[in-house]
Amino acid sequence: MATVEQNKILSQTGKDTPMGNLFRRYWIPALLAEEIPTPDCPPVRVKLLSEKLIAFRDTEGKVGLIDEFCAHRRVSLWFARNEENGLRCPYHGWKYDVKGDCVDIPSELDGSTFCTQVKLTAYPCVERGGVIWTYMGPVDQMPPLPEFEWAMVPDSHRYVSKRLQENNYLQAMEGGIDGSHVSFLHSGELKSDPLHKGTEGARYQVDTRPKFDVAKSPGGLVISAKRGADAGQSYWRVTQWIMPWYTMIPPYGDHGVHGHAFVPIDDENCFAWSMTHHPTRPLKEEELHAMQNGQGMYAALIPGTYRTVANKDNDYLMDRAAQQSGRFYSGVEGIGMQDASLQESMGPNVDRSLECLVSTDLAIVQARRRLLASAEALPKGEAPPGLDTSTHRVRSASFVAASDLTLSQIDDLLQAKEGSAHTSI
């Protein structure tokens, strides 16, 4: 378990908190590129690490992410007019560019230079892999742009979505590295979900006593879960956790590689990003259809929002009959919503000092320790793990092999190599 003080440090990500300072050293997925699709389109509210911001695409197509509130009277710039390379506040006409610089104050007399003294907080943005990324840390410490394989493959090979999750980022992320719950919570869906059914991996997941091994990697952790397979061998599922919040889920069959990013909105909410890519081929129509319709780790969204149709206000559309029959083990439909429903049920920020952890929670314990150690080392000038792009070019894997292999012996299977398929059954 984590102490009350450790839980506080792990959970709080606002300005000038240990974890907030750590997270601001990474490029952060801020919004989908499709949210601001064209020059001069309407601005979008963005909340990251408890900061209220506005994203917009200017007349030249450049993306800005600036303080939500006008410096004059603190009006929300969500109401602003996006015109002629800037956001103009509708209250008194003050105008800001993508760098947060005030470029016009119409009420000022000719020759006034006052607007040159006005500047809003602004963060640099880059578009890659269908995502607008931002960097919120010290400019002189800006790392290279992310090179996760899903962000680098052709658009036809990738699908990216996000959904609101109404709990702290950490309890969502911990679900992503907890390989033991699959044999229970998702057991019904493995037989029916189009991205899982019929694969050898789904068949082997019936073993409810996986044996775990966790190793530190340059970017985070490599986590293996071994279950019994045929002829005395083991079914291996190897998950990657890359700091600060990325998980790569072991694949099934020839389907793509799935992953998540759990990005804090504030200390009690996060966006659960979901990314699927195939290294060697375009995604199939049936795969895209399943993901777009909220199957697998994806979820159906309320139109015009990123809140899920099944949510805490309607008890996640709980189906007790389906729970009783085993069609949905928990009574909630969909792998993504099965995770979200239980993680949100813990409350917006769970008290980890009350937990009773066991051996299958080893990865969760190690991830917490790595986050805490990295936050503690940051003021001493130590760069955190996961900044070097080489740490991004890895994969998860699933396969059947001897039980006595070590993680070091399978390292080659976990490297992302252009033109080569992932290891999966």
Q: pLDDT digit string (tens) for 17-34?
A: 999 999 999 999 999 999
Domain end marker among 141, 162, 196: 141
Instruction: For residue 399, give every residue at least 6 positions away whose Cβ sits within 8 Å of its Cβ, in sequence order, or none.
Output: 235, 236, 413, 423, 424, 425
Model confidence at 198: pLDDT above 90: no
Phi-psi region of 347 (alpha: psi -120 to 50; beta: other; left: phi over 0): left
Question: What per-residue confidence (pLDDT) applies to 201?
Answer: 86
Q: Does residue 137 share a domain with residue 154?
A: no
For residue 419, tell me if it sits in a domain. Answer: no
Model confidence at 189: pLDDT above 90: no
Model confidence at 409: pLDDT above 90: yes
Question: What per-residue confidence (pLDDT) applies to 179?
Answer: 87
Q: Does residue 292 share a domain with residue 267?
A: yes
**Residue 51, CA distances (Å) to 42, 67, 91, 123, 219 in order:** 20, 8, 22, 11, 26
Question: What per-residue confidence (pLDDT) applies to 208?
Answer: 85
By percentage, how much of the chain surpasses pLDDT 90? 91
CA 285 to chain centre: 24
For residue 374, tell me if it sits in a domain. Answer: yes
Number of structural domains found in the chain: 2
Q: Does residue 284 share a domain with residue 333?
A: yes
More confident residue, 147 or 209: 147
For residue 343, tell me if it sits in a domain. Answer: yes
For residue 4, tell me if it sits in a domain. Answer: no
Looking at residue 315, its amino acid is: D
Q: Does residue 177 share a domain with residue 45?
A: no
For residue 213, tell me if it sits in a domain. Answer: yes
For residue 329, tell me if it sits in a domain. Answer: yes
Q: pLDDT digit string (tens) for 352-380?
A: 999 999 999 999 999 999 999 999 999 99
Question: What per-residue confidence (pLDDT) applies to 39?
Answer: 98
Domain end marker among 141, 157, 183: 141
By percentage, how much of the chain surpasses pLDDT 70? 100
Q: Indicate the SS3 state at residue 129.
A: coil
Query: Cis before residue 279, ω within 30 degrees of 0?
Result: no
Model confidence at 80: pLDDT above 90: yes
Q: Which residue in 3, 26, 2, 22 sits closest to 13, CA to CA?
A: 22
Q: Does residue 235 share a domain with residue 317?
A: yes
Model confidence at 63: pLDDT above 90: yes
Question: What per-residue confidence (pLDDT) applies to 381?
Answer: 97
Q: Does residue 165 share a domain with residue 127?
A: no
Q: Does residue 166 share a domain with residue 132?
A: no
Which helix (H) or strand (E) element contains residue 365?
Answer: helix 362-377
Question: What per-residue confidence (pLDDT) applies to 132?
Answer: 98
* CA–CA separation, 370 and 386 (whole Å): 11
Question: What per-residue confidence (pLDDT) applies to 197?
Answer: 87
* CA–CA separation, 212 and 235 (whole Å): 12
Q: Does residue 288 share a domain with residue 228?
A: yes
Place of tokens 């996640």: 316
Q: pLDDT digit string (tens) for 115-138?
A: 999 999 999 999 999 999 999 999
Q: What angle do CA 31, 37, 41 make, to 5 degrees?
A: 105
More confident residue, 327 or 281: 281
The pLDDT confidence band at residue 238, using thresholds 50, 70 and 90, is very high
Question: What per-residue confidence (pLDDT) applies to 230?
Answer: 84
Looking at residue 39, its amino acid is: P
Q: Does residue 226 share a domain with residue 264?
A: yes
SS (H, E, C) 140-177: HHCCCCCCCHHHHCCHHHEEEEEEEECCCHHHHHHHHC
Domain end marker among 123, 141, 159: 141
- Do the beta carbons of residue 201 and residue 425 sit within 8 Å? yes
Model confidence at 190: pLDDT above 90: no
Phi, psi of 206 (to 5 degrees): -65, -20
Q: How far is the first Cα of the chain from the last one, in angstroms, to the nearest whole number?
A: 34
CB-based burial label for 313 (10 Å; 0-12, 13-18, 19+) = exposed
Model confidence at 72: pLDDT above 90: yes
Structure tokens at 422: 């992932």
Question: What per-residue confidence (pLDDT) applies to 326?
Answer: 85
Q: Does residue 188 share a domain with residue 337?
A: yes
Question: How many helices, marked H, and strands, marked E, lie in the chain?
Answer: 11, 19
The mean pLDDT value for 168-189 works out to: 93
The pLDDT confidence band at residue 206, using thresholds 50, 70 and 90, is confident
Give the up-direction half-sphere exposure of residue 192: CA atoms within 13 A in the CB hemisphere: 13
Instruction: For residue 213, give every residue at least 6 positions away whose Cβ sits within 8 Å of its Cβ, in sequence order, or none.
Output: 223, 224, 226, 406, 407
**Neighbour count for residue 22 (Cβ, 10 Å):** 22
Q: Which residue in 275, 279, 250, 276 sits closest to 261, CA to CA?
A: 275
CB-based burial label for 406 (10 Å; 0-12, 13-18, 19+) = exposed
Question: What per-residue confidence (pLDDT) applies to 250?
Answer: 95
Q: Does residue 163 share a domain with residue 133?
A: no
CATH number assigned to the domain comprising residue 70: 2.102.10.10
Question: What per-residue confidence (pLDDT) applies to 237?
Answer: 96
Domain containing residue 290: 149-414
Q: pLDDT digit string (tens) for 253-312?
A: 999 999 999 999 999 999 999 999 999 999 999 999 999 999 999 999 999 999 999 999
